[in-house]
Structure 1
Amino acid sequence: MSRPKNAMEIFKHLEKSNCRECGEKSCLAFAGAVFTGAKPIDACPRVDQVTRDLFQGGAGETGDNGEIYFAELKKEVKSCDFAEAAQRLGGNVSGERLILKVLGKDYGVDHDGIFHTDLHVNPYLGVPYLNHVLHGKGVQPKGEWVSYRDIPGGREQYSLFHRRCEENMKRLADTRPGLFEDLVHLFDAKAVEAQFQSDISVVLKFFPTVPMMVCYWDDQDDLGSSLNVYYDSTAIDNVDADSLFYLGTGFTYMLERLAIRHG
């Protein structure tokens, strides 16, 4: 993995077709997003594997450290008491697997650290899942919603979280009016009474005790639209701040890929 010195170093490795399939207006804009950590290099569907390996992690991410941490957590799960974890976290044990509901779908893991699910397994979801299983306290949500920047340990990463999660999800909501209906149907989200005077509010459950709320305000009086993400105040008791970062940004990236795939 390479740490690029500037966006132009990334740009020279791109196709330069300005196809916009990554969600940016140009390849140069995409290179800038990768350099700042706003988007991963593989958000470009046309990038080759050599370039992907070269710049995975951009300038502002942990890069392959995420994979290393993922591997360490998989080792820890070998000694995890699944029956105790299921009782603590609201899951169940089936055979040799611990199963939790993740975005409304069964997400299981065995003692070898192998996942069993229809959802795509990657560090953005796998790391928080294992962190939750191993260290989550099982504290029930209170319905008290706070910004990621107000989560203990979140303030330092909020600027990046805002760019990679809230701003990118807002762009999707602006261009795809059916986004929130898709969240309800695909990920078992629940439309709730509008919070913080928003126009739309939906709640997703990454895990039974880790909900996330998305609030969207329409463009009114030419002031522009806005979108904010909130976690329940108890989320930090059930998963760490880094994992909440991964959940929000990784889920947004997944939505971007779905939007590209389905037009």
Structure 2
Amino acid sequence: MKVRVENLSERLLDDRISVCGEDQPDSPSIRRGIEEKKHWLQRMLREQGPPSKLAYVDSKPVGHIQFYSESSIPYLENPDPKTLHVMCSFVRLALQNKGCGTALFKSLLEDVKREGRFDRIETLGFDPPGCGFPQTTFWKKMGFQQKPDGLPNELEYVVNGEPTTPQHSQPRSVDERGAKIFYAPTCIYTHHFNDKMEETIRSVNAEIPVERINMWENPDEAKTRRITSSSCVYVNGHPMKHSIFELENFKKEIQTLISDS
């Protein structure tokens, strides 16, 4: 099977979206996620060059890898210009384990080594249901290693120099009421999960105001709060420790933050 890899360009934007979105239901949250994702991809193309590569088989887009320099993240206080972040990679289920993902990463690695801009490539391995081959396992097959003192999914591919320890997000509390969802527009499912977070917050208190803040478009508030992750939820001025993927603990923490305030 022949795999062709291409850098993302304006003419390939719909191909890029289709890799993740073609088989998903048409819902307002997915449509909003696609709109914001396209805007973000266009911005990255203008400001830093291609933030994604696409894999093609028989002229059909079947996979992608998405990446960006740490220095391009607008809400970070002190970004490392030598670090490249791989946000995710995905290949259609029917074509997994056939070399598409490997071809995508090897193409990116060749670019990194040729250009000499980055000393390391970092990623967070995550394995959402329905996505097939576990990403953490895949990245380790590609040569990524767990960061010293890091969690099992905090991975790094060292191009030059030595491994680095992870820098965990430690957002600060502020004096405010209500809930705020800080997010990055880098995934078409962002608002699908934002909707679930808002629904859970309102199931605890139906009257609480909930605001969503796109940290790439409005980075100042996230920077002031020292948010360094791609998503962070505040309830009554306190950053939450649990995510929507830990639903019961997420809901219990909301209840505690609302009742204690």
Higher strand proportion: 2
> Do the structures match in fold with TM over 0.5?
no
TM-score if structure 2 supplies the norm length? 0.26
TM-score if structure 1 supplies the norm length? 0.26
